[in-house]
Amino acid sequence: MPLSFLSPIHKASRQIRIHLTDCMNELGLAPEEGHLLSYLRSYAPCAISEIHRVFGLKRSTLTSMLDRLEERKLIRRELHPEDRRSFLVHLTRTGRTLAEKVQQPVEKLEESIRSVVGHTDVRGFQRVMEAIGNVTGVVVKSEES
């Protein structure tokens, strides 16, 4: 019996990633870098520990990605004022401009999906996503929270 929720969510995640990869490539970004810039657009400054928790990347992978973005002057890291052992990640002006460009195809995809589903479909999807959060007990920031 196929999985009713996890397999479709995984498939949709892959479809979204493949769709957005070309858009990110045009901006000179790997998909993960675009995703991170989009996240920082909403939540910066953000602790590296929070980014690690949200994205689930290996620490070495995350550090390499942050290094590349910092070398391109898209982000900057500074000591966390409340915890001198950790860092906050900020978008630079150039990074914020690029994050806005990253957001455009994301919003276009969102609008395209919304145009082919009804309000009831959206509410049902939201209930499934809420159930996943409740069952897993994992809290991840979103634009709605």
The CATH number of the domain holding residue 47 is 1.10.10.10
What value does the mean pLDDT of the chain take?
92
Average pLDDT rounded to a whole number, residues 49-74: 94
Tokens of 119: 């309000």
List, for residues 87-110, the tens digit of each pLDDT value. Answer: 999 999 999 999 999 999 999 999
Q: Is residue 141 part of a domain?
A: no
Q: Is residue 144 part of a domain?
A: no
Report the domain count for the chain. Answer: 1
Give the model's confidence band at 130: pLDDT under 50 very low, under 70 low, under 90 confident, else very high. very high
**What string of DSSP letters covers 12-56?**
HHHHHHHHHHHHHHHTT--HHHHHHHHHHHHH-SEEHHHHHHHH-
Q: Taking the model in full, what pTM does it have?
A: 0.80
**4 secondary structure, DSSP code:** S
Q: Is residue 145 part of a domain?
A: no
| Coil, helix or strand at residue 76 | strand
Count of CA atoms in the C-beta half-sphere (13 A) of 19: 14
Tell me, what's the pLDDT at 142? 59
**82 secondary structure, DSSP code:** T
Q: Is residue 111 part of a domain?
A: yes
Name residue 75's amino acid.
Answer: I
Range of the domain at 15: 6-136
Q: Is residue 142 part of a domain?
A: no
